[in-house]
Structure 1
């Protein structure tokens, strides 16, 4: 896939750009950006564009990083404010929204899924999303 260098949640141009935008946003607006990104995917009707999918995966990874006991983000492409140790308070309803968005990303009518299947590396990418989903669905 063009602009993708690995199967991690931040390892593509669209996710890295989204993370940069989240990082540059006013801290008071960050949760709203995450919520909007996830809702756009969770509620999407019809064929889901890959760019929307990868941004939702990145948003879900950001939420997972803020769960109790989660590993700190270390990716050079994750939002800098989180890599540097800032916290983001994420209400539980946003985690549930992220689960719905991830389910949509890996669904049948998703360009994200189609593109990963074409590469032959779908198992790795699906495992990354599955791990995120498991972490989000677990009690905080």
Structure 2
């Protein structure tokens, strides 16, 4: 019979990998990014799902204001951008991008259930600026993703989203692997 100590259990728990929604994130990195993060998509996080729930609970004529204020808060952040604010900004940007000509609908069960009104087109620029802020150095979300193996894929997904919002800007091409 093998002796398993608390240190062994801790090591095994820390480095156990989990595969959820096609994304492999080590448990240790999963805890660092956020216990409720399971993938790189805009709604693959408990904070984003909570944002979607808040949108659903908001009156139809106030949903655009909620999205706008979320993006403004991110763009206007002077100091270090908090994880939750960044996650909500990415989710808001994805909802705006879904209404763009090349946008993809938000079909995840963790996104809003209630319909959104047709959003003002000026939100596209604001959402692109918010994504720039999310990708900047002073962003907790970017910092956490950059410390994972999926960091380049996450950055690429944000860049693609930004490219939909502002098609004049070529999305950043991060390689998914080194040659």
Q: CA deviation at 1:87?
A: 4.7
Compute the TM-score of the two structures, normalised by the length of structure 1. Answer: 0.91
Work out whether 1:119 is the aligned partner of 2:148: yes
Query: Which of 55, 60, 63 matches 2:88?
Result: 55
Q: CA deviation at 1:68?
A: 3.0
Q: Which residues of 2 match residues 18-33 of structure 1 at below 5 A?
A: 18-33=51-66
Q: CA deviation at 1:111?
A: 0.2
RMSD: 1.3
Q: Is the 8 A contact 1:66 1:88 kept in 2?
A: no
**Greater per-residue helix proportion:** 1
Q: Which residues of 2 match residues 1-140 of structure 1 at below 5 A?
A: 1=33, 2-81=35-114, 86-138=115-167
Q: Greater Rg, structure 1 or structure 2?
A: 2
Higher relative contact order, structure no. (Cα contacts within 8 Å, ≥ 6 residues apart): 1
Q: How many residues align?
A: 135
Distance in 2, Cα, partners of 1:109 & 1:69:
30
What stretches of structure 2 of length at least 5 have no aligned partner? 1-32, 169-179
Distance in 2, Cα, partners of 1:3 & 1:69:
29
What stretches of structure 1 of length at least 5 have no aligned partner? none
**Greater per-residue strand proportion:** 2
Distance in 1, Cα, partners of 2:123 & 2:105:
19
Compute the TM-score of the two structures, normalised by the length of structure 2. Answer: 0.72
SS at the partner of 2:147?
A: helix
Distance in 2, Cα, partners of 1:71 & 1:58:
13
Q: Deviations over 1:74-108 (max 9, x none)?
A: 11111012xxxx35211121110001100000000
SS at the partner of 1:63?
A: helix
* Residue matched to 2:8: none
